[in-house]
Chains A and B, each alone.
Chain A
Amino acid sequence: MTQYAFHFDATRCTGCKTCEFACKDYKDLDADSAYRKVYECAGGETVRDADGCIRTTCFSYPVSISCNHCDSPACMQVCPTGAMHKDDQSGLVSVDEGKCIGCGYCHMACPYNSPKVDREKGHSVKCDGCAERLSAGESPVCVEACPARALAFGPVEEMGKLGERASIAPLPDASLTYPNLFVKACADAQPSDSRAGKIVNPLEVL
């Protein structure tokens, strides 16, 4: 088996959201759905000190994530029917639509806000790593669309060489589900356990 993984280069990402919209276009998603989302994490303050100097600790950086096809997926563990499953060959996590009951427990348990129940379809939907493109020898559409080349996709051994397993805020500590997302952190990036930053675009990502 080859476990596939994403790489996100936070030193390159500009937060343009082209990845998100390329995915929405390719998967024909409606306005309320997105399989890839760009979280804007910002914090700090600007103050005038006793000498009259303006000092700032402000920071802001985007984090682009989709399903991370974790080694220990929370969605799979709670799924009552086994519809949420990991492919034996690629390690990609996807939904068996013939088994899913649309209970939404996968959505409730995922710390990456990835699966969601499509009420019209009656089952969970999520990023499947563009499995059909992968089998045709192509990259996921989000990776191909990124104008800054901040995203990459490939075997976990290769992606692991490009960065650390994702543990930057606002993402949870990697030990929770062992996501197959490897990140090259930017200078502003805060560790997962930091409370210095907050997601400042909640309406875009929820």
Chain B
Amino acid sequence: MPLGFETALGEITLVLFTTLAPSGIVACAIMAGVLVFSPLGAAERIRINRGLCIPLVITMVGLVASATHLGSPANALYVFLGVGRSPLSNEVFAAVLFLASCGLYWLFCFTEKQYVTAQKAWCVFVIVTGAVCVGAIARAYDAPTIVTWSTPFVPANVWLSAFAGGPLLGMASLRVARAVCLHRLASKVLLAVSFAALVANLSVLAAQSIDLFNIWNGYGTAASLVPWYPAMVVLYGMAGIAAVLFVAAGMRGGKLPSASKLGACCVLFFAGLFVVRFGFYMMHMTYGVGI
């Protein structure tokens, strides 16, 4: 077994976190965007508000998974002492801010009277905190001593995978909420964004895969830590493209795929993304003698 395998296995909960959370956040932001910019009837607005819990729960599953790898969660409040200094503190702070803004918004929408203007303003805040949170996740491992992670490929991978998976999850959640906008241009735009981000991410992953041969420390090259990385990228690409094609096939003739089919496509996409995120943790290498 390659040396990197044990590293990734030890961080399996972080693999799950980085697979689910960024896409979940983008899906929340997409639904918030629909609530701000799309003309909605009262009943439809309520359905979308309540449907927001789908990507929110998926994001929370990722965040809870990431917390399970902590040795002493009881000390977690000290994390806020490092905000502005430690990338991990920034990530946790941004995640708490996003969950608070999105979770409280969801609860707020259960009021008998719907305060639409306040909801729209709150949704803009959810989009902003979501963007900050994905940005913080993308930079969480940007430590100058970690030679394989302190590269432009890493934040690009997080952003692009979020924009590849987020629209699929957003579309599935909107479908569950029976959002009318999906029958207009929205579904085509979401699918196009997902496909474009997937293709861009595959390009970045391929470039990163080649770059691993140029990175080395006392144990050898970074490529030797994760010899299956090219195969992992191909697997992710196949799963992602299959997911997008299944959705596209369901949209032929102006129809929409069912919510269950969209959900299955999301599962397929996330399975592929999980594999490539596992490879990311396998490639951990510092200058000197750390892997």
Contact residues of A with B, CB < 8 Å?
39, 41, 65, 74, 77-83, 98-105, 107-113, 117-119, 121-124, 169-173, 176-177, 192, 195, 197-199, 202, 205-206
Contact indicator A112/B288 (Cβ below 8 Å):
yes
Give the nearest-CB partner of A83 in chain B. Answer: B78
Partner of A198 from the list B71, B92, B218 (CB cut-off 8 Å) is B218
Contact indicator B70/A101 (Cβ below 8 Å):
yes
A121 to B217 alpha-carbon distance, docked (Å) = 30
Interface locus among B138-146, B173-181, B251-259: B138-146
Contact indicator B81/A101 (Cβ below 8 Å):
no
* CB of A22 to closest CB in B, whole Å: 21
Give the nearest-CB partner of A121 in chain B. Answer: B71
Contact indicator B219/A202 (Cβ below 8 Å):
yes
Contact residues of B with A, CB < 8 Å?
3, 11, 69-73, 75-76, 78-79, 81-82, 85-89, 92, 141, 143-146, 216-220, 284, 286-291
24 residue pairs A–B, Cβ–Cβ below 8 Å: A41-B218, A74-B144, A78-B86, A78-B87, A80-B81, A81-B75, A81-B81, A100-B75, A101-B71, A103-B70, A104-B11, A107-B290, A108-B284, A108-B290, A111-B286, A112-B289, A112-B290, A117-B71, A118-B71, A121-B71, A172-B288, A173-B287, A199-B219, A199-B289
Contact indicator A195/B284 (Cβ below 8 Å):
no
Q: Which residues of B contact A100 (CB under 8 A)?
A: 71-72, 75
Contact indicator A74/B143 (Cβ below 8 Å):
yes
Give the nearest-CB partner of B3 in chain A. Answer: A202
Contact indicator B82/A171 (Cβ below 8 Å):
no
Contact indicator A103/B89 (Cβ below 8 Å):
no
A176 to B144 alpha-carbon distance, docked (Å) = 9
* CB of A191 to closest CB in B, whole Å: 13
A95 to B176 alpha-carbon distance, docked (Å) = 49
